Chain A
Amino acid sequence: MTEAQIKETIFKVLGRIAPEAQLDKLALNDNLRETLDIDSFDYLQFLIGLNEELGVEIPEADYGQLTTLADLIRYLSARVR
């Protein structure tokens, strides 16, 4: 899976979790949760959605290194089969 495809998947899941959020405003290095106003519940739903789409299970201990869209793409690229 290419990084572009992963990014597309991330946006697809985000669109489902937060349909009102303006995804086009999100830059690669923005803080994802702050920019889109994602609370902890939505964040968990988001990670569950990514898990369903990509089969990657993100442990709680890794939440800290996943602040931006760029972080997420890097993290997922390394783990997607």
Chain B
Amino acid sequence: MAEFRMPSLGADMKAGTLVAWRVKPGDRVKRGDIIAEVETEKGLVEVEVFEEGVVDQIFVQSGEKVPVGTVLAMIRPEGMPAASAPPEVPQAAVKEHVPAEAGPEVKPGLEVSHLPGQPPERRIRVSPLARKLAAELGIDLSTVQGTGPMGAIERADVERAAAKRLAEKAPTPSVSEKPVPPTMEKPAATEFQIGMRRAIAAAMSRSNREIPHYYLETRIDMSRALRWLEAENQRRSIKERLLPAVLLIKAVARALGEVPELNGYWIDDRLQPQEAIHIGFAISLRQGGLVVPAIHHVDLKSLDELMEALRDLITRVRAGRLRSSEMTDATITVTNLGDLGVEKVFGVIYPPQVALVGFGKITEQPWAENGMIGIRPVLTATLAADHRATDGHQGGRFLEALNRYLQEAAKL
């Protein structure tokens, strides 16, 4: 019997709200099926299952917000009889609670509660009703004193906590009595934007705290690549046109094939290079913030397949419909700020990844070659890499390979 848990959809996620089940007990599932929808600080995510079998029991109902690692459902192997007796502990009533401040080390693709080096979990017993109420009222359950059996938190305890919070707030002088300060904060930020900013803040602070970054940059003559792309797009209908970003992403994957140390994770004090190349592509949202979903197996995709994958991904990002695997398993990040006037990007690595490749705007610049000066479209590519995992020598080899692949776009 396999446990289907609330996944960690990024190093910064602590909890998620189960929005809807796509399956019910008795349904057959296979690896990769989307079986649930979860609301996170980065939007709605379609969660895939990694087991084959039959949905046995569902423990968390839609609308419930639970910590990462909570068992949501059980999947039994095909042919096994359904669980007749209820589990020893009533799972719906007793859930693990990860303390909000203890950011656990998150390894993509692994259950958070199985990780080494994680602080011991504090178990809080909560009735389902109390949990739902706490979520609605915005009460942190770790601050609530339970009075039920074995200290379990019940509905009344949550209500008491809510009343207390209200009472604490009441005596403060009302804001409207104060003179309006000349620089008032704009009230525009929504709940979603605040959550998104917080999620980015957590991941980026951890990155700057833990990762000794080193930075390299190189200028790349893009005239051959752009000439090839222009000719290629002329032959194509508008729907089949390629964007330069597709060439860049593919060239990164090819160069990683030569310097695989940059493709992977730093976990448990060692570099763990990954076989598959899943490139996290930073996509900014017009309403603020960004998401970095992964394009899977970039090295195995043709340029057309990549363009299609990118189109599909960006469309779903805008619509807020990402899949769980896309949120968790990027092995490196690419950020392309070329659409703005930016010339080069010095990136902050997304932990536990060990590298980030940045691209600026392609601009016409003087270019010396073979003793001649000419004007060329030039792209500045940068690499931010984790010095624990690699050294400048490897980083330099990567940028050199990237340049080489972009000189032969037809072979990408």
Contacts and interface: CB of A to CB of B under 8 A. Distances in A.
B238 A40 contact: no
B233 A60 contact: yes
Interface residues of A, number: 19
A45 B227 CA distance: 22
B241 A40 contact: no
Contacts, number: 39
Nearest to B237: A57
B243 interface: yes
Contacts of B241: 44, 60
Nearest to B242: A44
Nearest to A21: B286
A59 B339 contact: no
B365 to A, nearest CB: 19
A59 B239 contact: no
Contacts of A57: 237-238
A13 interface: no
B287 interface: yes
Interface in A19-67: 19-21, 37, 39-42, 44-45, 47-48, 51, 57-61
Nearest to B340: A39
A18 interface: yes
B245 to A, nearest CB: 7
Given A20-B287, A44-B241, A39 B339 contact: yes
B245 A60 contact: no
- Interface size classification for chain B: 20 to 34
A19 B314 CA distance: 14
Nearest to B313: A41
A58 B241 CA distance: 11
Interface string B294-318: 0000000000000000110011001
B243 A20 contact: no
A9 to B, nearest CB: 16
Nearest to A17: B318
Contacts of B84: none
B286 A37 contact: yes
Nearest to B338: A40
B243 A40 contact: yes
B230 interface: yes
B238 A51 contact: yes
B234 interface: yes
A45 B318 CA distance: 12
Contacts of A59: 234
A20 B285 CA distance: 9
Interface of B: 230, 233-234, 237-239, 241, 243-245, 284-287, 310-311, 314-315, 318, 338-339
Interface of A: 18-21, 37, 39-42, 44-45, 47-48, 51, 57-61
25 contacts: A18-B286, A19-B318, A20-B287, A21-B286, A37-B286, A39-B284, A40-B243, A40-B244, A40-B245, A40-B338, A40-B339, A41-B310, A41-B311, A44-B238, A44-B243, A45-B311, A45-B315, A47-B238, A48-B238, A51-B238, A51-B239, A60-B230, A60-B233, A60-B234, A60-B241
Given A39-B284, A40-B338, A61-B234, 7 more contacts: A20-B286, A40-B244, A41-B243, A44-B238, A44-B243, A51-B238, A60-B233
Name the 9 nearest CB pairs between A and B, nearest first.
A39-B339, A20-B286, A20-B287, A51-B238, A60-B233, A57-B238, A40-B339, A41-B314, A48-B239
